[in-house]
Amino acid sequence: MIYLDHCATTPMSSEAIDAYRKAALSYYGNEQSLHDMGEEANQLLRHCKREIANLIHADPKGIYFTSGGSDSNISTLLSLAYGNQKRGRHIITSPFEHPSVYQAMNKLRQEGFIIEEVRALPNGQVDLTSLQQLLRKDTILVSICHASSETGVIQPLDEIGHLLGAEVVFHSDMVQTFAKLHIDIKQLHVDAASFSSHKVYGPKNTGACYISPKVTWRGIYEGVTHQEGFRPGTVDVPGITAFATAAATLYEELPSLSETWRRMQQWLLDILEPLGFHLFGDRDTRLPHHLALRASGYEGQWMMLEANRNGIAFSSGSACKTSHSAPPKSLLAMGHSPDEAHGLFRISFGTGTTWEEIEETAHVLQKIVHS
């Protein structure tokens, strides 16, 4: 099977599996325990915090660990909203977010917060004029992803952050970009961010978030002693060690990897566009390992199932099992018709992707639309 669904999930790298095994055998103590077994686990945890922080040029004091990207988004957004609600209850987000961001926003809306969505440009970026218009005196939080998993388009975070200024807390879901793009969190003016381990060749059920130590937050649950009250539950030191190892390993290879990915991406586009395939969103300002495509007249889900029959695994955008799924709202916001949006399928490369696999993929896609 050719696996081209690396934006959905990745296999663990051998370095990560190794690190996991070693930590599970030797650093299994509860990091909150006061005995030596606890203290040793706690030291390793602090080391991992520094390692994750280094990859985004952030203060390690702002790193908290979670059970994955969804948990990072939900826990961070709720904690930021609760911690800043005295200043206002207005929150802005975008139509390009992961379902977990909308789950958090719906919860906040039920609790009396006002949630608004910024308009989108046809190229897949948020409309900065619309953002400026939405900003109010009581806006406390803006959450806009670094790159959408559906479109792969990279958002102009530095411009957004600059526009927001110091008064509004700026959160960005960086699950799709962490350790896959160069990130300097301060340069981007981002105050808080979410990361996932299993998108960067680490274990599932592990993730992290960053909240600038300058920003106020209040945990979802009262009386939590773990992670300064951010999240209840025994901290998974072996999983976190494997996560940090996986991310650091990926980041080291990144310059050459992203160069290869970019060439694979552009090569595929050059082959496919003349055959009636269309790219969603900007051709250049996008993740180098990501293609959001449609073939005229074909549903994305059908393309995905046909490719699967031909030994290639990719995703039909939604990665959702419900058969009556709505078309991706990101594509509707960019001005596409529901029919066009339903055509979405997503190819995403990873560390192990070879040129042979890319050529075979082009061949299979061509075969599907000509059969």
Interface contacts to a copy of itself, rule CB under 8 A: 1, 3, 5, 8-12, 17, 20-21, 24-25, 28-30, 32-38, 67-71, 74, 99-100, 102-104, 106-107, 198, 203-206, 220-225, 232-239, 301, 304-305, 307-308, 313-316, 319-322
For a copy of itself, give the closer residue by CB, 24 or 269: 24
- Minimum CB separation of residue 263 from a copy of itself in Å reads 25
320 annotated active-site: yes
For a copy of itself, give the closer residue by CB, 110 or 371: 110
| DSSP-derived secondary structure for 98-111 | -HHHHHHHHHHHHT
Strands (E), 144-206: 169-173, 192-196
- Minimum CB separation of residue 350 from a copy of itself in Å reads 11
For a copy of itself, give the closer residue by CB, 156 or 229: 229
- Minimum CB separation of residue 198 from a copy of itself in Å reads 6
For a copy of itself, give the closer residue by CB, 106 or 187: 106
Nearest alpha-carbon partner for 143 in 113, 179, 182 = 113
Q: Which two tokens stand for residue 112?
A: 């009396």
The total of other beta-carbon atoms located within 10 Å of residue 35's CB is 9
For a copy of itself, give the closer residue by CB, 154 or 304: 304
The burial class, CB within 10 Å (0-12 / 13-18 / 19+), for 366 is middle
- Minimum CB separation of residue 127 from a copy of itself in Å reads 25
Torsion-angle region of 227 (φ positive above 0: left; ψ -120 to 50: alpha; else: beta): left
**From the candidates 7, 145, 209, 320, which is the catalytic residue?**
320
- Minimum CB separation of residue 29 from a copy of itself in Å reads 7
For a copy of itself, give the closer residue by CB, 32 or 132: 32
Note whether 219 and 79 are within 8 A (CB).
yes
d(CA 80, CA 170): 10
The total of other beta-carbon atoms located within 10 Å of residue 282's CB is 16
Give how far Cα 75 sits from Cα of 70, 127, 149, 323, 346, Å. Answer: 8, 27, 20, 29, 28
- Minimum CB separation of residue 16 from a copy of itself in Å reads 8
d(CA 168, CA 212): 13
Give how far Cα 157 sits from Cα of 35, 63, 128, 187, 254, Å. Answer: 44, 20, 10, 9, 21
Residue numbers annotated as active site: 320
